[in-house]
Chains A and B, each alone.
Chain A
C-alpha cells in the first residue's frame, strides 16, 4: 500500500479518495439504521406528531370568520369601533350576502359558537338571523317581479349572469356592470350546486340577489349598456324603475331578527377576530379577553383557568412530594434487602400495574367516601362522630390520595434502580470513618440517591400534571385538573381551539419546569439506574 504514503489525499484500494469511500461505507450503515427505525418513525409521525401538531395549530388558527363572512370583513375595515356606533348600511348588506350563503351551507351556527366564546349571545343571534336571512330583500323581489314577471324565471337570470352553466361561470359583462349581484349570484350558483346538486337553470335566485340587483342599479343606472338583446331591455327597464322602489334598510331587517345587531360590541368582536390567526384562545386560557379596545381581564366570576392551572401545579407538586416521602423508604428497603425478600416486595410494588386504573380509583372511592370503610372504622373506634363523618373524596384530598397511590410505582422504580447501583461500601466507609448511621445516610447515601429522586420527581410530576381519569372520578369540583377542562372542551363544548391553547400552555409549563430543573439540579443528575 505504497499509495498511502504518497502526498495528496489518502486513497482507498480502488483509487477513490479514502474519505469518500469511508463516507460511502457509512452512508449504507446510516441508511440501514434509518430503515430499522422507519416503521416506528412513520407510525409516530402519522398517528401522533401530525395530529398533535394539527391540534396545537388550532390554538391560533382562526380562518372561520374571514372565510364565512368574506364581504362583511372587508366592509368592516372602514368602520371604527371607537366611535361607539353601529356600522353603516353597507356592512349590514354585505352581512346579508354572507349570512344567506352561510345559512344555506349551515356554517353560520359554527361561526356563531366560535364568536360566542368571545362575546356571549352572538351564537343565538346567528341562529335566529340565519333562519330569516333568506327572506331579506323579499320586497325587492316582489317589486322586480311586479315590474316584469320574467325576473322570476331562472332562465332570465342565467341569460343575464352566466357565461356558461356547466360548470357555472359568471359573465364578465355582469361582473363589470352589476358587481354585487354577480358576486352573490355566483355564491348562489355554487351553493345550490354543492348542497342540492341543482343547477341555476332550475332555481329561482335568493331574495338577497334582488337586493343586490337593486343596489347595483341605483349605483350604476347605465348598466344596460353592458348587455345586449333581451337582457339589455330588461335591465334598462329595471334601472328606470328602481328609483321609485319602496326601500327597506337591511339594518332594520337585522334588528328585527335580533336587537343585538345594533350593539357595536358585536361588530367589534367580529372585526377583532377577522385575522386568520388569533391570540384569543391563549388569552382566554389565562382568563384574559381580546376586546375591541385591547386586552382586558375577564370578570372575576368567569376567571377559572388560572385557578385551574395553579391548582394543577399545586396538586401535582403535592402528589410528587407525597410520592417521594412514601417511596423513598420503600425503594431503600427494596435495594438493601436480600434478593428473595426484595423480589417479593417488588411484586407488591408492581401489583398496581396489573390492576385496572379504574378499579384502583373506584377502590379509593369506596374507602374514602363518607359511608366508606375508613369513615366507618373511624366512627367505630370513636375518633369521629357519626354525625360529621370526614369528607375525603370528591375534593383535593381524595385526588391527592388516589393519585399518590397510582403514581407511587413511578417514583419507586427509578429510585430503586439508582439505589441498587450505590454500593454498600460507601456507607460502610462512612461508618468506619466515624459517622453514625444517620450521618452516613444523610451525608453519603442520600446525595448519591438524588439522581433517582430527580428522575422519579420528573416522571411523577409530568404524569400528574396531565392526569385525567382519576381527578375526573374522585376530584369532585375542587379536585379537578386543567386536563379535565381540556377534555371538556374537546368532547362537550367542542371549543377545540381553547382546548388546544390550554394544552399548549400545559406543555410549555412542563418544558419550562424541565428547563428550570436542568438549571438548578442538572439533567445529568437524573438517572434511571
Chain B
C-alpha cells in the first residue's frame, strides 16, 4: 500500500504552499504591485559593456582554428554519411 504515503506527501506539499501563500498575503506581498515592477531596476550596476573584442592575434588564430576544426568535422561527418548512405 503506497497510496497513503503519496497522499500524505501531497497534503504536506499543499499545506506548505498554502502556508507560504498566507504568509505572503499577510506580509503585504500582493500589495504595491506597481512598485514591484520596478524592483530589478533599482540596483543600477554600471556594467562595462563590451564594445569590441580585445583578442590578440594568436588568440584569434587559435580560436578560429578550433571553430573551423569543429565546423569541418561536422561537415566531414555529414559528407561521409551522405556518401555512404
A and B: interacting chains: no
